[in-house]
Amino acid sequence: MERTFLMIKPDGVQRGLVGEIIKRFEAKGFTLVGLKFMAVSKELAEQHYDVHKERPFFQGLVEFITSSPVVAMVWEGEGVVASARKIIGATNPLNAEPGTLRGDYGMDVGRNLIHGSDAIETAQREIALWFTDSELVNWGPTQKPWLYE
């Protein structure tokens, strides 16, 4: 089953939106398979955002992600990578549709609440970067027959 990596950023945690954000993915029907509340090291932040290392906002982004704790998660389900990106909304919250997390709760591209992997291969890389195998739980939610035909 497809998996994605989601991370509630420091602004989401500081603003008390952890429950609200998790609720969206849970209510949709995705399965939580990994979750940890953690401080992010500079090394991890730099590796996570490696693709952006030449961009002018890179240093500020690393400083932001390491400034306060985050909630790192792995979620599983049919089409979860693309679906989670839709639930999250556009990178700039001012362009994000109402009903998306960034559209409903965000104001600034540098404070956009949550990260979600942008492709299946990216998700695999990010899951391996943030979680060990033993931190991921394989389990069978009893509601599965009520979510999938």
Contact residues toward ligand DAT (CB under 6 A) are 52, 57, 61, 91, 109-110, 112, 115, 118
Of the pair 56, 140, the CB lying nearest ligand DAT is at 56
The annotation status of 111 as a binding-site residue, yes or no, is no
The annotation status of 57 as a binding-site residue, yes or no, is yes
Residue in the shown chain whose Cβ atom is closest to Mg ion: 118
The active-site residue, picked from 115, 116, 123, 127, is: 115
Rounded CA separation 64/15 (Å):
14
Contact 77, 31 (CB under 8 A): yes
Vertex 116: Cα angle to 110 and 121 (nearest 5):
130
Closest approach, Cβ 140 to ligand DAT, in A, equals 31
Of the pair 33, 102, the CB lying nearest ligand DAT is at 102
Starting at the earlier edge strand, list the strands of the sheet with 114-116.
Answer: 31-38, 70-76, 3-8, 114-116
Of the pair 124, 141, the CB lying nearest ligand DAT is at 124
Is 48 an active-site residue?
Answer: no
Strands 114-116 and 3-8: antiparallel
Token pair 């400083």 is found at 63
The annotation status of 112 as a binding-site residue, yes or no, is yes
Q: Show binding-site residues for ATP.
A: 9, 57, 85, 91, 102, 112
